[in-house]
Amino acid sequence: METDINSQDRKDLDKFIKFFALKTVQVIVQARLGEKICTRSSSSPTGSDWFNLAIKDIPEVTHEAKKALAGQLPAIGRSMCVEISLKTSEGDSMELEIWCLEMNEKCDKEIKISYTVYNRLSLLLKSLLAITRVTPAYRLSRKQGHEYVILYRIYFGEVQLNGLGEGFQTVRVGTVGTPMGTITLSCAYRINLAFMSTRQFERTPPIMGIIIDHFVDRPYPSSSPMHPCNYRTTGEDTGVTYPSVEDSQEVCTTSFSTSPPSQLSSSRLSYQPAALGVGSADLAYPVVFAAGLNTTHPHQLMVPGKEGGVPLAPNQPAHGAQADQERLATYTPSDGAHCAATPSSEDTETVSNSSEGRASPHDVLETIFARKVGAFVNKPINQVTLTSLDIPFAMFAPKNLELEDADPMGSLHSDGSSGGSSGNTHDDFVMIDFKPAFSKDDILPMDLGTFYREFQNPPQLSSLSIDIGAQSMAEDLDSLPEKLAVHEKNVREFDAFVETLQ
Amino acid sequence: MNCRSEVLEVSVEGRQVEEAMLAVLHTVLLHRSTGKFHYKKEGTYSIGTVGTQDVDCDFIDFTYVRVSSDELDRALRKDALRNSGGDGLGQMSLEFYQKKKSRWPFSDECIPWEVWTVKVHVVALATEQERQICREKVGEKLCEKVINIVEVMNRHEYLPKMPMQSEVDNVFDTGLRDVQPYLYKISFQITDALGTSVTTTMRRLIKDTLAL
């Protein structure tokens, strides 16, 4: 395996792999923050942009990555993995994807380190930028908000794919051959977004009741080392400051030569430690995020209905030698405002009341609705799901906090589903949150959302029902002569009225 | 050396054509652009930095990454707009080429080394529901196309050798201020709904005229 790679090339290669690993983590995590990323091109080399790409460094992420690597590099049998998972406000979580940076035994002895390998690593990072936007987790992460958040975890060692469910798919981002082995970057992502809630048979407070201080309460059990990791600007209360990661901002002055490769002697890297300032000062990532959830795209959490579902074992990942910290990648608009739900034609399809019958007060809390399951869901979903749900509405009706109480909004859950929506198979459900257009996200009872729900399914007009219609018809006929007599008396008034119209 | 050729096909609604083509063009050019070269003494050069930005499509459930260069974006939009609108089949070719200097009186030769062909089939949809489904389907298709593009890019097949300063314009487009893509050109072929291409129709007309 060891080739005649000289020590300087070996040092360069190790450096490249190290910073490539750090940049890979940055690209992946930043792509899951839920916001669009934008960096500027610079015609002059800045000296601090590895691989000639403007990828900002979030210090916390770099810190986590270095902690996971612990001075080692991805090598044969030792992969660096970034796990992306989703965690709901109820505490349920689901792994979405695993990004793996691996090394295999296939060596390319002829390749030039400081030219070809470097450029190919740069190309691979560009590919990673593109691929991180096309996996299913991207769209989920763009819509994270109160109901769920996206977390990341970095570990080093053996790749653990068990948490991705059945039938996960893999995409290879790319490979770069080196004299020490071939670097491979790939992603395994979940296809089946069906979610098994461990609280299936418990009463849980409605999602809409969770509010603003969600991230102040640490939802994670104390046994787990995970904790939310908010990227904060200076001045925040935690006062956690990460060591100035000088080496991650080492100035990379890369010169290339147009000489033929065999005569290459002047292309060496020079490193000058630089103050960190470049990365974090430029970042405008404020604190805890609170992006509102856009209900027009309900690619969201799924929970099973009453017909199926097995409680999932709590998925506390326990992998990797260097594993551990599960971090919440958060981001917030700087003004902290909730994003207004954007109304669109999809709104009419997002909420449907199933005609499967009223839920009795003693039914377990069932799941909620949804019509369409997102583009990346495996099973074709064609029918409406779920049973009705009393709890969220009870939340807004001040008197009815108990399931057993009569539900004043029972008419909402009566049969007569709003036309032909699609539903799920017994274990694929999507839960959505109905946010009516222009409504504020307040907790007052009888807000606009409640109003919509209450009056969305009005009872049928009594005059349209057949029996009553038949009766009234007979009555009408009987009362006709009287009515005619009255109208004849008032003929003059009617005529005067008609004249005013002309 | 043979020119490498890749073909991608997409079916889109009329208003999605521009965005679909820009998504493909930008994804390819992201991989085929470098920072600006700054040549120094002794034949060495340093490379500027390429920034990137996410672009959300308005008519497709899709986000793609492009190089942060407004000049490049404008140039591509101008090209993409030429092919938007109308039903039928359209074909766009993005060709990367090298210039080879020829002696007078011959003009420089353009030797393509990679051609990306995007066949766009435009469909007309009647209802809003169909359009919504189309948004998602086209988004998924474009995700597949991006994966295909990345797969080709990472085969590490032929790329022009890095040029000396005197020859950089034979390999790269050095006219942009902030980035430096490989020399490329974009061409179109539009077929109307009847399946006849405009060029073949013209050719037939001319032939018929000459035959008289």
| Residue A110 in this model has a pLDDT that exceeds 90 | no
**Given an 8 Å threshold on Cβ–Cβ distance, is A37 in contact with B54?**
yes
Q: What are phi and psi of B12, to 5 degrees?
A: -135, 165
Per-residue pLDDT tens digits of chain B, which is 212 residues long: 578 899 999 999 988 998 999 999 999 999 999 999 988 877 788 899 999 999 999 999 999 999 999 999 999 988 776 655 555 678 889 999 999 877 777 777 888 999 999 998 888 888 999 999 999 999 999 999 999 999 999 988 888 888 888 889 999 999 999 999 999 999 887 665 555 556 556 666 776 666 65
| Residue A336 in this model has a pLDDT that exceeds 70 | no
Q: Which residue of chain A has the CA closest to B150?
A: A127
In angstroms, how far is the first alpha carbon of chain B from the final one? 43
Inter-chain contacts counted by CB atoms under 8 A, chains A and B? 152
Neighboring chain B residues of A37 at a CB cutoff of 8 Å: 52-54
Half-sphere exposure of B139 (CA within 13 A, CB side): 23
DSSP per residue over A42-72, as a string? BSS--S--GGGB-----HHHHHHHHHHHTT-
Nearest to A39 among B36, B40, B68 (CB): B68
Neighboring chain A residues of B57 at a CB cutoff of 8 Å: none
**Given an 8 Å threshold on Cβ–Cβ distance, is B53 in contact with A174?**
no
E-assigned strand segments in chain B: 4-13, 33-35, 37-39, 44-47, 52-56, 63-67, 88-100, 109-123, 179-181, 184-191
Smallest CA-to-CA distance from A449 within A293, A336, A335 is with A293
Half-sphere exposure of B93 (CA within 13 A, CB side): 14
In angstroms, how far is the first alpha carbon of chain A from the final one? 102
Q: Which residue of chain A has the CA closest to B142?
A: A134
Neighboring chain A residues of B140 at a CB cutoff of 8 Å: 375-376
**Given an 8 Å threshold on Cβ–Cβ distance, is A42 in contact with B177?**
no
| Cβ of residue A378 closer than 8 Å to a chain B Cβ | no
| Residue A24 in this model has a pLDDT that exceeds 90 | yes
* Helices H / strands E in chain B, number of each: 5, 10
DSSP per residue over A246-312, as a string? GGGG-EEE--EE-S-GGG--S---EEE---TTHHHHH----SS--PPP-TTS--------TT---PP
Neighboring chain B residues of A133 at a CB cutoff of 8 Å: 54, 63-65, 146
- Cα(A392)–Cα(A353) distance, rounded to whole angstroms? 14
* Distance to chain A for B35, nearest Cα, Å: 6
Mean pLDDT over all residues of chain A?
64
| Cβ of residue A254 closer than 8 Å to a chain B Cβ | yes
Neighboring chain B residues of A297 at a CB cutoff of 8 Å: 61
**A459 or A250: which carries more pLDDT confidence?**
A459
Residue A6 is predicted with a pLDDT of: 83
Banded pLDDT at A404 (limits 50, 70, 90):
very low
Nearest to A41 among B46, B51, B56 (CB): B51
Q: What are phi and psi of B72, to 5 degrees?
A: -65, -40
Domain spans, chain B: 4-191
Contact criterion met (CB below 8 Å) for A45 and B47: yes
- Cα(A493)–Cα(A490) distance, rounded to whole angstroms? 5
Q: What count of other Cβ atoms lies within 10 Å of the Cβ of residue A389?
A: 21
Residue A59 is predicted with a pLDDT of: 93
Nearest to A130 among B40, B146, B177 (CB): B146
Banded pLDDT at A162 (limits 50, 70, 90):
confident
* Distance to chain B for A496, nearest Cα, Å: 50
Task: Describe chain A by its helix, strand, coil percentages, rounded to 5.
Answer: 30, 15, 55
Mean pLDDT, rounded, for A364-376: 39
Q: How does pLDDT run across A228-264, given as a tens digit for each residue?
A: 333 433 333 344 444 433 444 455 655 666 654 443 3
**A438 Rama sector, left if φ>0, alpha if ψ -120 to 50, beta otherwise:** left
Mean pLDDT, rounded, for A359-365: 40
How much is the pTM? Answer: 0.61
**Given an 8 Å threshold on Cβ–Cβ distance, is B63 in contact with A253?**
no
The interface predicted TM-score of the complex, written ipTM, equals: 0.88
Neighboring chain B residues of A126 at a CB cutoff of 8 Å: 30-31, 52
Residue A439 is predicted with a pLDDT of: 59
- Cα(B157)–Cα(B4) distance, rounded to whole angstroms? 9
**Given an 8 Å threshold on Cβ–Cβ distance, is B178 in contact with A255?**
no
B122-to-B11, B43, B188 alpha-carbon distances in Å: 6, 49, 15
Smallest CA-to-CA distance from A229 within A81, A61, A56, A22 is with A61
Query: To probe the interface with A, which of B156, B167, B173, B177 has the most A CB atoms within 10 Å?
Result: B156
SS3 A132: coil
* Distance to chain B for A150, nearest Cα, Å: 18
Mean pLDDT, rounded, for A121-150: 93
Nearest to A134 among B128, B143, B163 (CB): B143
Nearest to B27 among A52, A130, A345 (CB): A130
- Cα(B124)–Cα(B122) distance, rounded to whole angstroms? 7
Strand order in the sheet with B37-39: A256-257, B44-47, B37-39
